Amino acid sequence: MRTVSQHHLMYYFSSRRGSCKFHQAIKSGVWNSSQISFTGRGQSLRFPAPIRKIRLFVISNTDDGYACAPLLEEERNTNNATTSEPETFFSEWSPPSFLWRGLSVLVLAGQIIIRILKGKIHWGNTLEQLERVGPKSVGVCLLTSAFVSMAFTIQFVREFTRLGLNRSIGGVLALAFSRELSPVVTSIVIAGRIGSAFAAELGTMQVSEQTDTLRVLRSNPIDYLVTPRVIASSLALPFLTLMCFTIGMASSALLGDSVYGISINIILDSAQRVLQSWDIISAMIKSQVFGMIISIVSCAWGATTIGGAKGVGESTTSAVVISLVGIFMADFALSYCFFQGAGDSLKNCV
């Protein structure tokens, strides 16, 4: 069946790839709904029928007085053959986000190690991130450590004073602060302050395609963005932990002297007789591992962000949560490795 009509119209043919415009007398015909041809003055255009729909919008010239009629042609495959491939179980299956993001953490950690061994380090960004993680985070870390230490001291002093173990208070507090409290509290603060910032920054760069721009400029995003953050976190956290331990012991000694009447000299002397060099070294090793966990997880979550602003917010929240879980798991593993068997540290202060 063939239909032919004569129009003096303006035709716009629009699709995703472009548009064509004709303003002249055109004779159009449709053959069996399989192809459309247009014949004009001195030219002929023939369009083979695609499989997907094409919308043809016909707009009349208001000055010539001719009628206007919209044309919508839905063209199908001429041979009526099925073009869809057979569906399988894995064709529509995608792994859960936590699974492929967890794998991305391992892949990113391996790439960072390789790039560091090759010396591919952007020192300018590293110093900038080191200042951000270290000096700019000192205030909030010390303030948090002071109040947590004083709250911890209240619980110990009340019970030990009742048992008459005033000379053991300083040693117990020193062991608790150095082995567990200072590295964990410092890492939690850094995870909330720095880890969330890392995830948000890299997530925004990912959804806005800034990381692709770095690749176009022949700059590896891992060298420029990820490695400096990992190095800065792993170097700054041990020093922050040491400072938090010092402030925690000082605030505990002041609280014990002013509220409970236990001399500062007694508390500090007990802590000195109990503490060993390995206690401080283990705290710094823990904090270094925690810093690597925070930075790698946050950067991996940011680099795998999808979904625009909503995805950036979800990645930031998820990065902080996963970092905290990783800190607690690593703390248990390291404590189990460092402090096995029965301890005899408190025998010197009893």
pLDDT at 32: 43
Write down the H helix ranges in the chain. 97-117, 123-133, 138-163, 169-176, 182-190, 196-207, 210-216, 221, 227-259, 264-274, 277-303, 308-338
Q: For the whole model, what pTM was predicted?
A: 0.70
Q: Which pLDDT band, with edges at 50, 70 and 90, does 209 fall under?
A: confident
User: From CA 149, how far away is CA 176, in angstroms rounded?
Assistant: 10
User: From CA 104, how far away is CA 285, in angstroms rounded?
Assistant: 24
Per residue in 150-164, pLDDT (tens digit) is 998 998 888 888 887
Which residue type, as a one-letter code, is found at position 325? V
Q: Which pLDDT band, with edges at 50, 70 and 90, does 6 fall under?
A: very low
- Looking at the DSSP assignment, which residues form a beta bridge with residue 54? 73
Q: How much is the average pLDDT of 64-79?
A: 47
Task: Give the list of residues 6+ apart from residue 114 with CB closer than 8 angstroms, or none.
Answer: none
Q: Lowest mean pLDDT: which of 78-82, 186-190, 330-334?
A: 78-82
Whether 237 and 187 have beta carbons less than 8 Å apart is answered as yes
User: From CA 334, how far away is CA 18, in angstroms rounded?
Assistant: 62
Over the Cα atoms of the chain, what is R_g? 35
Per residue in 85-129, pLDDT (tens digit) is 555 555 666 666 767 777 888 888 899 999 899 888 888 999 999
Total residue length of the chain: 350
298 vs 211 pLDDT, higher one: 298
Q: How far is CA 137 from the centre of its chain?
A: 20
Whether 59 and 16 have beta carbons less than 8 Å apart is answered as no
